[in-house]
Each structure stands twice: as C-alpha cells, then as structure tokens.
Structure 1
Amino acid sequence: MIDPHLFDPAAVSEEIRAQNADIVAKLAALPDPMSVPPSVVRERRAQGLGPFPLMPSSPRAEVIEIAGPAGPLPLRIIAPDNPRGVYFHIHGGGWTWGTAAEQDPWLDRLADRCGLAVVSVEYRLAPESPYPAGPDDCEAAALWVIREAESRFGTFRLFIGGESAGAHLSAVTLLRLRDKHGLTPFRGANLFAGCYDLNLTPSVRHWGPERLILNTNDIRVFADNFCGRMSDRTNPDVSPLYADLEGLPPALFSAGTKDMLLDDTLFMASRWAAAGNRAELALWPGGCHVFIRFDSALSEQALSRIDAFLEAL
C-alpha cells in the first residue's frame, strides 16, 4: 500500500517548502498565461520568463528530420559513444508549449549515466494542431526509432518516457504500437507526472486557482486545446487511463505529493499493475508538478531513481 507518511506535511523538507513558496509568489506576480495566445507564452518560456528555469543546450545535440504525417518531423538526438540503448523521449508542456530542446541536461544525464542515445521528438502542438496531430507525430517518431535503432545506434534495447503531457503521449504511443502495429519493443517506460484522464481527475478538479506551476483552469485549457473537436474524452487514444493496458512494459510512475496531477499517477500505476504489468510508484514529498526542473536534493533523488530503474532493465 502507499505509505501515508509521504503525504504528511512533516515529510516535506525546508528546501522544498521554500522552493514551492517561491514558485507560487513568482507566478502570482506574472500575467495569467491563459489570458494570452500560446505563441506569446512560448516566447516567454524561451526567454526564461515561464515557471521553469532555462536549461542549457547540449553541445552534442543533433537535429535531424524524418518523414512525418504532415511533413518533415524534427528529432533531437543526444548520443554517447557506443550506446547501450535508445531512449525515446517526449517533452511536456500541456500539449501546447514546450520543445524538444528545453531539457537537454536530462537527456545528457541519460546519455552519460545510463549509456543511452536519446531521441526527443518535436511533435506538433495544440491548439494550432489538435488531436490527433501530436499522437500521430509521436507514433511516427517511435516507429522510426524501432526501425533505425540497430543500424544507427547499434542496439535493440529501447526505452520510452516523458514528463507531464510527454508521459501521456508516451502511454498513448505504447498503446498505438501494440494495437495498430502489433509491436511491444520498449523494455521500460519512465512516466513522470503524467495526465492520463482528460476528463480531469479529482486532484485536478479540487486544486483550485493557486498556481504551483499549474492550476485547475490551466489543465482544463490544455485539455481543450489538445482535444479540439474530439468530444469523447474516454477514448483511450485521448485518455489512456481508460485503455486495456495488458501487455505493456515495466513502468516507473513518479510524481510529487504537491502535484495537482497526483491522482493521474496513482490511478494509472494501479491500472497498469492490475493489467498484469510491472509498475513501480515513486512519490516525492512536497514535490510540485515536474519538480525535477528545479535543483534540489529531492530532484536528485528522483532523477537517481529513474537512472536506477532504466539501468536495471
């Protein structure tokens, strides 16, 4: 069972308490990001004016283009010498913001510590390109990784993962590969702070207006952007929480206890295990949404848990 002490306020370190308070104060002083066009927010994020600090670019990052469903599809690749595996990464940002270039230090870490070549897909964003554009791009990129891994990187050892919307799209991609192509090539999934029910889980609905990275209205707008005209949000291709999850790879589900998407992780990990798959659950006291974007002892613990999970597979 889940240890209730993880949710005890006393379990939250002073470092994380202070960090969360700083985040709330900073975002309260900024304009509501939902009051301006997504393009404006994307530009602000590129300047370091969003909720997350800028992360430096990797000097070894390479961008290639493959044939995508709607034209050229960029892939950002960070690879060590003689990779021992390939990690297919899908970035977050509410299906609306974010880029494959925003989290190079994470990808460098996977290359250096786990020996993985990391391929991050620059999928189309909503609301300009709503469902099924993003999932279609991720599916195409995953098929490229499966097809090219041995010839390009010399390995068949494949992993998949992402954060927030990227965790959602990772789950959707695994289901598409299984159901449309009869493929289950990934030996592990790293799913961090995902949103798996676009009808909104109770933790999202009950959160309210405080913006600790996100608030209830933010998630509602993101879901509307992604779904577009798709009315059935119980469709597993939209909300993978409702899918038949049988035959999926071992997965590490991670979330902070102060993440408004906490229920999504708790529910999805339970359904993953109930379908007969190996599921590991890592809950981090006081962590906000995708707290690993901020330097802290808690972030290092969470990232080390990810490293260990991937190394063991």
Structure 2
Amino acid sequence: MIDFRYHLVSIVAIFLALAVGIVLGTNLLQDPAIKTANEMTRQLTQANDGLRGDLDAMKQREQVHQEFVATLTPQLVAGSLAGERVLVVEAPGANDTYRELTEQVVEEAGATLSGRLVLLDKFFDPKSAGVLDGLVNQLKPAEMAFATTATVHDRAATLLAAALVTADPAQVNTANEATTAVLDGLLKGGFVEVDGDPLNRATLAVVYAPDAPYEKDDDGGAAAALNALAGGLDAGGKGAVMAGAAATSAGPRGAITALRDDGEIAKRVSTVDSADMPEGQVVIVYALREQANGGVGQYGTGTGASAFQPEPPTSAPTPTTTEAGS
C-alpha cells in the first residue's frame, strides 16, 4: 500500500520538474523572444511616426485650402442672390457651425436673411401629432384648404410656408396678415423657436438637416416630416435647399438620403451634402440661385449626388417671379 510519504515525494518531484522546465524554457527562448518583440516595437513606432507626419501634412494642406476658398468666396458668390431674402430652417441636431457659415456666405451673395426657424423635437414627436394638427386647423386661414391625402406635417408645412415665404415680389419682406398668429401659436405650443423676423417673408429657404443619422426606431417619421416641410417651403416660395454633411446627413438613415430617395420631393427640392466644406457654402448659394431660376439638383459627394455643384449659369440670373417653387 502506498503511504503518505510516497505521495509527498511524488508531488515534490512533479513541481521540481515543472520548475526546471520553466527555467530551461525561459533561458532557451529569452533572447529570440526579446529580439523579436524589440524589432516589432521599433517597426510599429516607425510606422506610427510616419502616419503622424502624414496626418500633420494633411491638416496643414486642409488649413491652407480652407483659407484659400474663404478668401475667394466673396468673389465666387458676389451678386448670385441679389434681391433675394433667405429663410434658414434648423432641424434638431443641425450643426450650428455649418449654419452660421451659410448665413455669412448668403449675405456675401447679396441676399438678406429674413430670420431663422428652429424646429424642436416636439414638432417631430408622433405623440404630439394630434396637438400639432389641432393647432394647424385652429391657426389656418378659413380659405386655406389641404389635400385629402395630406399628413399632419404636410398641413403644417403648407401653413408655415404661407407665413414665411412667397414668390410674389410685392409680398417679399412683408408679413402675411392671414397667418401672423401662426408662429405665435406654434411657439406657445413648444413646436418651434424663432430668431430674427422670419414673418417678413423670404423668397428662398435653406433647411439644415440633422448632423447625425436618424435612429433605427424612428421608422422614417422624422425624415418624412422634414421632407414635407422642405417641400412646402419650396412650393410656397421660389425654392428650397436642404443642406448637411455627406458623412452624416447623406449616409444611411440620413435626412438628405431620405429626401433623395423621395422621388417626388427630389424633383423640386435641391440638396447639398458638402455643407461642412468651405466650397460647400458656395455650392449652397449656387443651388439657391438655381432654385430661384426654376432648376433643381442633388449636389455633393454622398450617395445620390448627381454632381458636386450646379452648372454655371449661361447668363446673369433672372429670378422667376410668376411661379411658386421650383
């Protein structure tokens, strides 16, 4: 029978063998392993330094590029929107920097900013649709009629367009007396905010898209609502442009992507997905000019863009005054 002493000796022998094996293995592998690790570290460090240098060079080139375009922008857009008034519409999550740059370049193009309409989350919330519909029906002029197939946001867009834009030169920079209570009602209802004096009607509108994709569970409701508003503003004035960035607004579930996928709206409303680029601000002005002359296009670098910018006009712009929208 094997006694306890035999077990103890056996266990000690096993652990001693393991220890000897580890020591021998470490000594045999130490030099090659360390050399390999050191070489890999050196190569990775060298590659990282190279990439960092490339990035710094690209940043410097981009800075020079932006300064160059910014310097030329006043010349590129001069007179493009002379005599026009432009309304800026800001969706929830829109990028303030892009919007502020647009306002600056629009003014350099000779246009006047009529004001800014800020759409709040409640405007798009399905739970608030009934309240919004009730307000629209309460605030609309008696003679205003809606299509039987119009959604609540279609009806809201028609009402807002009547209050904020016009294609009639005689009505530009004047308030629509029939709808002066519209903004006040929507303000009190928590659906919008305003900056400036947008009730003095504009001729054109820039709608700034959210600077992030819509959530997967949105089910297209917010995109359809924003499309409806852009379409309504286009029909009520001389035209509308939706602007944003290619990486977000023109990506999967982006607002610009949704508009380009909507065949009917895309036939009338232009899009520009390069608003985050200095030259994109110029393209927004060119797209507005094209809209004022009855044209439409999808511009930028994202999916669905037909060109980076509109074709240059063959002659001086002669804004159309007899038709609403593009």
* Bigger fraction of residues in helix: 2
Who wins on radius of gyration, i.e. which is larger?
Answer: 2
TM-score (norm 2): 0.32
Q: TM-score when scaled to structure 1? A: 0.33
